[in-house]
Each structure stands twice: as C-alpha cells, then as structure tokens.
Chain A
Amino acid sequence: MTDNPTDEALMARVCEGDQQAFAVLVERHLPRAYAIARRVLGQQADAEDAAQEAFSKVWTHARDWKPERGSFAIWLGRILVNASLDLGRRQTARRQLGDADAVLAQLADHAPDHASSYICQQQAADIEQALQRLPTQQRMAVVLCYFEEHSNPQAAALMGLHVKAVEGLLVRARKQLRVWLNRHREEHV
C-alpha cells in the first residue's frame, strides 16, 4: 500500500467495506467540506449535520460512485452541496441572525491564528453576517466561487445549474453584499 493513496484507490476499498480507507477520506476532505457547510449554513451545529449527512452517504452509497463520471471530490461536493441546500431550506424559517458577539466568539475559538486582531475579527464577523442574509443559492455560489475558489463552471456543476445562472447569482450577491457592508461601515464610522 502506498503512503498517500489516491481518493480513487481509497474509494475502491470503501466499496469493499474498508473502514480505515473511509477514515482517511474523511480526514482528508472534512476541513473543506465543513468550511463550505459552515459558511453556507452559518451555524456550527448545522454545518456538522451537513458534513455528517454527506459522509454517511459516501459510506452507505459508496457503490454509486463511478470513477468515469468524475473525481471523488466532485461527487462528494455534489452530495455536500445538496445536503447543505436541503438543510438551508429547512432552517430558513427558523433561522435568526446571530448577534455579532456570538459570531466573534466562535471565530475567536476556531481561528486564533488568523483572526488575531479585533479589527480582523470584526471584519470577519461583518462578512459572516452579511453572507447569512443572502438567499441560500446566492450564498452557496459565493462560498464555492470566492471562498473555495472554484471556477464558475465547477460551481455550476456542483450546484446542478447552468454557468450563466451561477454568474447571475454571483452578480446579485456581490451587489447586495457591497450595499450591506458599505452601509454597515458607514454606521460604525
């Protein structure tokens, strides 16, 4: 066995019920999957639920994955995007915007290296709050294209949309974010 097996090799073993191979896949892909779900859903518990749902599906439906149809990362991405959007729709009714202090506290807990200064934390909290005010589809497009740096066609493939539709979502999201962030900045100057 090689030290760093490919996703494809690991998935072949997962199909045979190899739990160790599955563990390696989870460790490898969880940080990115969690970051996407966390930014789209806004709540830590919801993001953990989405990640749990996505990886559980990878385990139970491992034989559905066909290497010729695309890489494992793309397959996992689609499962995660669908799980996050489903959870997002369910939470829309009950979602309440968390106050800035709670967001700050969470950011401070999870990213002590990056958000070392108060200003940085405040900016991150502002972005987080503005992001959570966007409709779920726009938020997903922003997270995939700007935070995770996918190309528009890649994001479109993950979301099951046409590239033009994703571009439209991004244009509307940028416009809205710019308005909210500028207004917020003016209020606090």
Chain B
Amino acid sequence: MNNAEDPLVQQLRSSPRPQPRPDLAAQIIRQATALPQITGWRQHIQRALDELSYGWQFKLASLALCGVLGIFAGQWQDTTDDTELLVSAQLLDSALYTEDL
C-alpha cells in the first residue's frame, strides 16, 4: 500500500518525526479555553457569517455586476407607459371626491 517498497518512500518514512516543544500543549490549552464556546443562536450566526465571508470578493463583484446590468437595462428600456398610473389616480380621485379640486 502507498508504494511501501519504493526506496524513496522508505527514505521519507525513515526521516525523524518533528516533535512539538514541551510547553506547546499547555499554551494551546490556555489560549483555546480563553475563547468562548459557540453554542445555540451564536452557532447559527457564526455559521452564517462564515458562509458569507467565504469568497466575499466574488459575492461583492457579482452584486456590483448585477447592479451595473440593472442600470443598463433601465437605460435601454422604452419609456414607461404611465396609463395604469393615470387610471389609478383618477379612480382614487373619484373615490375621495377630489377630482374637481
């Protein structure tokens, strides 16, 4: 398995394993346990933030591109037909008896 008979692999395996300095475990335990454990609603918020922060540059660029495309689409669209708006205003006027004012 994993080319165990390959001399190169044997050479790699025979090299000494790096050892952590003796006080590293204590340092890790001290620093880690000083942090609050994430539970309940904080866990959900943290996860949402993690999701959001992953690849945020691409998300921001996509949003900006959508905005730019939206602006161009608005520019190129024909002049809006405001007949429906006029009818609505006239209906409101007649309902409130304000058409003669």
Contacts and interface: CB of A to CB of B under 8 A. Distances in A.
Given A142-B12, A174-B6, A59 B20 contact: no
Interface residues of B, number: 30
B20 to A, nearest CB: 4
A90 interface: no
A146 B33 CA distance: 33
A151 B27 CA distance: 32
Contacts of B35: 56, 59-60
B19 A31 contact: yes
A19 B1 contact: no
A34 B3 contact: no
Contact of A127 (B12, B27, B28, B38): B12
Given A60-B38, A174-B6, A151 B1 contact: yes
Given A22-B29, A63-B37, A34 B16 contact: no
Interface of A: 15, 17, 19, 22-23, 26-27, 30-31, 34-35, 38-39, 44, 47-48, 51-52, 55-56, 58-64, 107, 110-111, 114-115, 120, 123-124, 127-128, 142, 145-147, 149, 151-152, 170, 174, 177-178, 181
